[in-house]
Amino acid sequence: MPVCYDLHSHTNASDGSLTPTELVQHATRCGVSQLAVTDHDTTAGVAEASAAAVACGIELIAGVEISVTWRRHTLHIVGLNVDPRNRSLQQGLLGLQSLRQYRGSRIAARLARRGLDVTHRVAELAGAAAPARSHFARALSEAGLVRDPQRAFRRWLAAGRPAYVSTNWAGLADAVNWIARAGGVAVLAHPARYRLTLSKRRQLLREFKQLGGRGIEVVSANNDSAQIRTMAAAAEEFELLASCGSDYHGPHQHWVTLGRLRPLPRTLAPVWTAWS
Ligand code: AMP
Ligand code: MN
Ligand code: MN
Ligand code: MN
């Protein structure tokens, strides 16, 4: 079987729609041979995913996607090849889980005040997971209160919109440290998605590197070749390992497929050289 890495994916332990077992089975069908499960602020899906990966004969890389606030920007730091049993990591994630619960209740209240009562459905959709904005987006869209989840973000949930609740997530140094203590590699997720000026992004990368950050997602789903070139140049300048991941959330996002990513530029050191 040819080697195929997808190092960013979600299960229903956060805002993905597949169970860890379903995700791993689907990844296998898609030809992924090395899959990282990187749920938002939790590793709760990793144990089940690992067992499923053994059954499917693929490699499961334990991961997490940590929500970070850096100079008023929300960033995502992916931790790859972490030990989910690590105490520092789990303590940090516990704090983020309770922030999510608190923020979720405030988002629900803001929507309810405007006659949009999705509290019950969000709880159902989230199940055992801490609520994410994507659960709200799905609930609003299902109830016919917006045309699709994208519009729920645009109208209600995105920064500056009426149901947005700004949250002080983990510090960048904290996130990098938790990942490092858990033996993992800290990777800046989907760098093209942040609204950062060029100079801000360079400041971020410099700081990230100084704090012990080791990688950057050079290839994510729907990146065009210009974005890939930009991030490849950033990886070279800041001597960061290159990662690739689809950020798969489930079949409802029919425009994203597991493992179908453009190849990493050959001049870069792939992030998996850090553990394999
Ligand atoms: P949260 O971490 O709870 O604020 O939710 C962030 C998640 O919502 C992301 O991981 C995406 O899955 C999803 N998301 C964020 N912004 C958008 C958007 N504009 N359209 C669709 N999904 C989004
Ligand atoms: Mn998500
Ligand atoms: Mn993300
Ligand atoms: Mn993600």
Residue nearest to atom 17 of ligand 1 (CA): 153
Shortest CA distance to 241 belongs to which of 274, 199, 212? Answer: 274
> Can you name the residues that pair with 242 across neighbouring β-strands?
216, 270
- Residue 14's CB: how many other CB atoms inside 10 A? 25
Distance in Å, CA 133 to ligand 1 centroid:
6
Q: What is the pLDDT of residue 31?
A: 98
Give pLDDT tens digits for 213-245: 999 999 999 889 999 999 999 999 999 999 999
Assess whether pLDDT exceeds 80 at residue 51: yes
Distance in Å, CA 135 to ligand 2 centroid:
9
State the alpha helices, DSSP H only, in 33-171. 46-56, 87-113, 119-126, 133-142, 149-152
Q: Which residue has the tokens 């065009």?
A: 224
Nearest ligand atom owner, CA of 14: 2
Residue nearest to atom 13 of ligand 1 (CA): 134
Residue 235 and residue 189 in contact, taking contact as beta carbons nearer than 8 Å: no
Question: Which ligand 1 atom minimizes the distance to the CA of 67?
Answer: 2
- CA 133/CA 153 separation, integer angstroms: 8
How far does CA 45 lie from the centroid of its chain? 13
Q: What is the pLDDT of residue 222?
A: 85
Strand-pair category, 73-80 with 185-188:
antiparallel
Residue nearest to atom 14 of ligand 1 (CA): 134
Residue 197: how many CA atoms within 13 Å on its side-chain side?
Answer: 3
Residue nearest to atom 9 of ligand 1 (CA): 134
Assess whether pLDDT exceeds 80 at residue 168: yes
Give pLDDT tens digits for 56-72: 999 999 999 999 999 99
Assess whether pLDDT exceeds 80 at residue 162: yes
CB-based contacts of 19, cutoff 8 Å, min separation 6: 11, 12, 45, 48
Assess whether pLDDT exceeds 80 at residue 265: yes
Beta strands of 136-198 (E only): which ranges?
185-188
Q: Is this model's pTM higher than 0.95 or not?
A: yes
Which residues have CB under 6 Å of ligand 1? 15, 40, 67, 132-134, 149-150, 153, 158, 249
The percentage of residues in the chain with a pLDDT greater than 70, rounded to a whole number, is 100
Strand-pair category, 73-80 with 59-70:
antiparallel
Residue 45 and residue 39 in contact, taking contact as beta carbons nearer than 8 Å: yes
Nearest ligand atom owner, CA of 96: 1
Shortest CA distance to 246 belongs to which of 235, 262, 257? Answer: 257
Give pLDDT tens digits for 75-131: 999 999 999 999 999 999 999 999 999 999 999 999 999 999 999 999 999 999 999
Mean pLDDT of 34-61: 98
pLDDT band at 1 (very low <50, low <70, confident <90, very high): confident
Q: What is the pLDDT of residue 74?
A: 98
* Rounded-to-10 torsion of CA 249, 100, 128, 141: -50
Nearest ligand atom owner, CA of 245: 4
Q: How far is CA 2 from CA 29, 34, 55, 132, in A?
A: 13, 10, 18, 35
pLDDT band at 9 (very low <50, low <70, confident <90, very high): very high
Give pLDDT tens digits for 123-154: 999 999 999 999 999 999 999 999 999 999 99
Question: Which ligand 1 atom minimizes the distance to the CA of 154?
Answer: 19
